[in-house]
Amino acid sequence: MSKRSVYLDYAAATPMDPKVLQSMQPFLVDNFYNPSASYQAARDVKSVLENSRKSVAEILGAKASEIIFTAGGTEANNLAITGIMKNYPKSKLVISAIEHPSVNEPASYFNHATCPVDSKGLVDLTKLESLIDDQTVLVSIIYVNNEIGVIEPISAIARLLDSIKQDRLERGLNLPLYFHSDACQAANYLDLHVARLGVDLMTLNGGKIYGPKQSAVLMVKSDVSLSPIITGGGQERNIRSGTENVSAIVGFASALKLAQDSRKQNTEAATKLQDYFAHELTNAFPEAAINGSMTKRIANNLHVTFKGIDNEWLLIKLDELGIMAAAGSACSAAKGKPSTVLAALGLSDKDSKSSIRFSFGNKTTKSDIDYLINSLKELL
């Protein structure tokens, strides 16, 4: 078997689409102006920035004024959590047990409750309802988990929150109940229409959709009371100060458009690979367990436990054969800790440390999967 290079870590980073790069280039060298400056050339750049905002808003079914550009998904998630809780310091928020650290960490500074998931990784709606009390102002549930790829029932959660809001209204309580979802892993494959999802705030990430890293959006409905976490020159409606990174914003908008225009084809192609991969894997390794729901799952993820195998050893061996994959999320992998996401599903530390995430994308082929399976057969 000759050595190849097989990238199976698209959930960590996606290569930039050449069309995205092309859209960004004019704003790096020639049209570099600060969009807040007063001369015509800067005003032209400002209008390109505003067109990017409109394009993102249109895709999400939101208003342009509801789109806040940030430097990355981490910042957008921090802004959502901290920005609301700063305005309601005596209130409470509820998150799920499988949030990304960029939600967990800011939530830990406030009064919060954590909603468990079932063994498939799905948020339990009855438990969620029981955790929401009259002090709860925010619920934050990830749309697609970055480790196990499970798709959470976002619109069903929104309907539950609507019924709680209705009940509060009837009882004369006027504390809002906002719904935030971290959709960093969703845009290549899933619907992002905010009214259909029923979210008040949503995080999107350019680095996961063949756009630039450190480009992202927090969609914030206009009736949400949100404080800034980065203050200064008052850009982004005073919610996120700092000179706008115009090329990254333009790149984000074009990446999102490409991702959403092709999400049905992306899903079809990735599902075929996922089915093939799962079939070949189970044939070759009947002991291997796929973690997370198979039916409520993003099309480009398989997360596998190889019982008794050390995942760090396996990743090194796969890397030697040219295969790039991950143990959990990039962040928890770097710390060498067992994944909190897998623990939430009920996996033991031992099984967690025997688990690997394979995530594929638009360049992955069936022969990449064959190479992976053959490599695993050689190693295990």
Ligand X SMILES: Cc1ncc(COP(=O)(O)O)c(C=O)c1O
Cα–Cα distances in angstroms (integers) from residue 145 to residues 99, 184, 220, 244, 293, in the given order: 7, 9, 21, 29, 11
Return left, alpha or beta for 129; rule: phi > 0 is left, psi -120 to 50 is alpha, else beta.
alpha
Q: What is the smallest separation between the CB atom of 43 and ligand X, expressed in angstroms?
A: 31
CA separation for the pair 143, 54 (Å, rounded) = 23
Binding mask 76-115 for ligand X (x = CB under 6 A): -x----------------------x-x-------------
Write out the DSSP string of 46-96. HHHHHHHHHHHHHHHT--GGGEEEESSHHHHHHHHHHHHHTT-TTSEEEEE
CA separation for the pair 259, 239 (Å, rounded) = 26
Q: Give 184 or 270: the residue with its C-beta nearer to ligand X.
A: 184
β-strand pairing of 289-290 with 301-305: antiparallel
Q: Choose, by CB under 6 A, the member of 146, 247, 305, 362 that binds ligand X.
A: 146
The b/e string for 216-248 (b: 16+ C-beta within 10 A; e otherwise) is bbbbbbeebebebbeeeeebbeebbeeebbbbb
When asked if residue 182 is in the footprint of ligand X (CB under 6 A), the reply is yes
Cα–Cα distances in angstroms (integers) from residue 96 to residues 129, 255, 298, 340, 347, in the given order: 12, 28, 18, 11, 17
Q: How far is CA 354 from the centre of its chain?
A: 24
When asked if residue 149 is in the footprint of ligand X (CB under 6 A), the reply is no
Q: Give 96 or 102: the residue with its C-beta nearer to ligand X.
A: 102
Query: Catalytic site residue 331?
Result: yes
Q: Give 185 or 305: the residue with its C-beta nearer to ligand X.
A: 185
Q: Give 100 or 112: the residue with its C-beta nearer to ligand X.
A: 100
Binding mask 123-142 for ligand X (x = CB under 6 A): -------------------x
* Binding window for ligand X (CB under 6 A); candidates: 128-136, 179-187, 309-317, 349-357: 179-187
Residues within window 303-342 making contact with ligand X, judged by CB under 6 A: none
Q: Which residues pair with 123 in a beta bridge?
A: 117
Q: What is the smallest separation between the CB atom of 146 and ligand X, expressed in angstroms?
A: 3
Q: Choose, by CB under 6 A, the member of 74, 96, 235, 291 that binds ligand X.
A: 74
When asked if residue 184 is in the footprint of ligand X (CB under 6 A), the reply is yes
* Binding window for ligand X (CB under 6 A); candidates: 19-27, 36-44, 70-78, 112-120: 70-78
CB atoms under 10 Å from CB of 212, counted, come to 22
Among 331, 343, 373, 379, the one annotated catalytic = 331
From 3, 2, 6, select the one nearest 369 (Cα to Cα): 6
Binding mask 190-229 for ligand X (x = CB under 6 A): ---------------x-x----------------------
When asked if residue 181 is in the footprint of ligand X (CB under 6 A), the reply is no
Question: Is residue 36 within 8 Å of 42, Cβ to Cβ?
Answer: yes
Q: Give 137 or 184: the residue with its C-beta nearer to ligand X.
A: 184
When asked if residue 72 is in the footprint of ligand X (CB under 6 A), the reply is yes
Q: Give 205 or 254: the residue with its C-beta nearer to ligand X.
A: 205
Binding mask 6-35 for ligand X (x = CB under 6 A): ------------------------------
Residues of the shown chain interacting with ligand X in the complex, contacts defined by CB under 6 A = 72-74, 77, 100, 102, 142, 146, 182, 184-185, 205, 207
Report the catalytic residues: 331
